[in-house]
Amino acid sequence: MPVSGARAVEATRAPAGTLADGTAVEAITLKANNGVSAVILSYGATLQKFLGPDREGRVADVVLGYDSLSDYVDHPNYFGVTVGRYANRIAAGKFSLDGKSYQLPRNDGDNSLHGGGNGFDRAAWTVVSMKSGPKAEVVLGHRSPDGDAGYPGTLSATVTYTLDEAGNLGIAFEARTDKPTIVNMTNHAIFNLAGDGAPQGTTDHRLMIPAGHYTPVDGKLIPTGELRPVAGTVFDFRAPRRIADGLRDGADQQIVFGRGYDHNFALDAGLTAKPKLAARLEDPASGRVLEVLSTEPGIQFYSGNFLDGTLVGKAGHLFRMGDGIALEPQKFPDAPNHPDFVTARVDPGKPYRHVMIYRLSTAR
């Protein structure tokens, strides 16, 4: 659906393939005139591509992923997908709600991770609507039945991607339930601001996270319940610094547990009504800057520790440790089992909503 006007953002759609059950998958492209564009697959409500110029105007794709639908189906690794119902880990896959216990699939050792292995990232979402204009938009919908992957309540979820003329890619997650449940949705894009497949990886990127505390984990990567100050540790990103500086610090047991960074940061702003800055990532070589804004109280920083050279992505690029990093705004991991954490509970008549923004720009 083209749109007139030199500063309009265009939304278009095209076939992306077919799933084994015959379901057609679409690719929706949102394209601005400043060189920023995004491609969203209806399978997994996935951010397949996110392109932007460097300081010299050269455009590159800054998210890791695959060229074909079949690779997302056959070799899942959460590249750019929408994760849910519950992003991150739940200890032993168990939680209780109103005195009733629930058991989720365990797909991460003893834990349930990102919905238990058959979550929102494996669903064929429906394209509800799309439009071009000063802010292009596509709305994707999915219905998760009561008991799906062990979660209570029938959940009606939407993900709305928007792109404006300044290069802000917004992602709004909404969900409604017919009985009390837990919800924690986010996007799992893995970034390399030098460009997907760039040989230097991301360890020289500079990261800032406005968080005075983080949630340390045990050997199974489950939060202990403590909010630990970042001051004086390799988890202090309150001022921008190079990721590599703390990535191999084996003197910190937390880095050993995570094989690098795989930790939730408790953002100073907490839960907010409007998106606020949750992280700023910069690649000094290309000049590309990514700002992540969110309404959620935490952000998971994952330094690509489990990329082990077994996955071949776009244009035949082999993904290895440190080739990309994720910055995932969300509720805290295992929050249903920690009453002191911000609750992930969602009730009928009180919809879940999380709004986040990926803002691409350049620094000179």
Q: What is the 3-class SS of 82-94, one letter each residue? A: EECCECCEEHHHE
Residue 2 clears pLDDT 70, i.e. is over it: no
Residue 284 clears pLDDT 50, i.e. is over it: yes
Domain count, the chain: 1
Q: In the numeric block, which tokens belong to residue 128?
A: 């509800």
Read off the pLDDT of residues 61-84 as tens digits, 9 standing for 90 and up: 999 999 999 999 999 999 999 999
Reduced to 3 states, what is the DSSP secondary structure of residue 233?
A: coil
Average of per-residue pLDDT across 91-97? 98
Q: Is residue 119 part of a domain?
A: yes
Q: Cα–Cα distance between 136 and 162 in angstroms, integer?
A: 5
Q: Cα–Cα distance between 63 and 80 in angstroms, integer?
A: 7
Residue 5 clears pLDDT 60, i.e. is over it: no
Q: Is residue 255 part of a domain?
A: yes
Q: Is residue 182 part of a domain?
A: yes
Q: In terms of residue numbers, what domain contains 52?
A: 10-362
Q: Is residue 297 part of a domain?
A: yes
- The pTM (predicted TM-score) of the whole model is 0.96
Q: How confident is the model at residue 4 (pLDDT cuts 50, 70, 90)?
A: very low
Read off the pLDDT of residues 202-247 as tens digits, 9 standing for 90 and up: 999 999 999 999 999 999 999 999 999 999 999 999 999 999 999 9
Q: Is residue 125 part of a domain?
A: yes
Q: Please answer whether residues 69 and 17 qualify as being in contact, where contact means their C-beta atoms are separated by less than 8 angstroms.
A: yes
Q: Is residue 312 part of a domain?
A: yes
Q: Please give the order of strands across the beta sheet that includes 213-215.
A: 190-191, 325-330, 298-302, 262-266, 213-215, 228-229
Q: Cα–Cα distance between 156 and 281 in angstroms, integer?
A: 33
Residue-level pLDDT at 7: 61
Residue 260 clears pLDDT 50, i.e. is over it: yes
Q: Please answer whether residues 150 and 102 qualify as being in contact, where contact means their C-beta atoms are separated by less than 8 angstroms.
A: yes
Average of per-residue pLDDT across 331-356? 98
Alpha-carbon dihedral angle through residues 266, 273, 140, 16, given to the nearest 10 degrees: -50
Q: Cα–Cα distance between 1 and 10 in angstroms, integer?
A: 7
Q: In the numeric block, which tokens belong to residue 304?
A: 């690509």
φ, ψ of residue 337 to 5 degrees: the values are -105, 10
Q: Cα–Cα distance between 209 and 303 in angstroms, integer?
A: 14
Residue 97 exposure: Cα atoms within 13 Å on the Cβ side: 20
Active-site annotation, residues:
188, 328
- The residue type found at 225 is G
Q: Cα–Cα distance between 356 and 364 in angstroms, integer?
A: 26
Q: Is residue 4 part of a domain?
A: no
DSSP string, 283-296: -TTT-EEEEEEESS
Identify the CATH number of the domain in which residue 62 sits: 2.70.98.10
What is the pLDDT of the chain when averaged over all its residues? 96
Q: What is the phi-psi region of residue 40: left when phi exceeds 0, alpha when psi lies from -120 to 50, beta otherwise?
A: beta
DSSP string, 51-118: EEE-TTS-EEE-B---SSHHHHHHS---TT-EE-SB-SEEGGGEEEETTEEEE----BTTBEETTTSS
φ, ψ of residue 60 to 5 degrees: the values are -145, 155
Residue-level pLDDT at 72: 98
Compute the chain's Rg from CA coordinates.
19
Q: Is residue 2 part of a domain?
A: no
- Inter-CA distances, 243 with 27, 87, 209, 280, 322, Å: 33, 24, 12, 12, 10
Average of per-residue pLDDT across 253-274? 97
Read off the pLDDT of residues 159-200 as tens digits, 9 standing for 90 and up: 999 999 999 999 999 999 999 999 999 999 999 999 988 888
Residue-level pLDDT at 199: 85
Residue 1 clears pLDDT 70, i.e. is over it: no
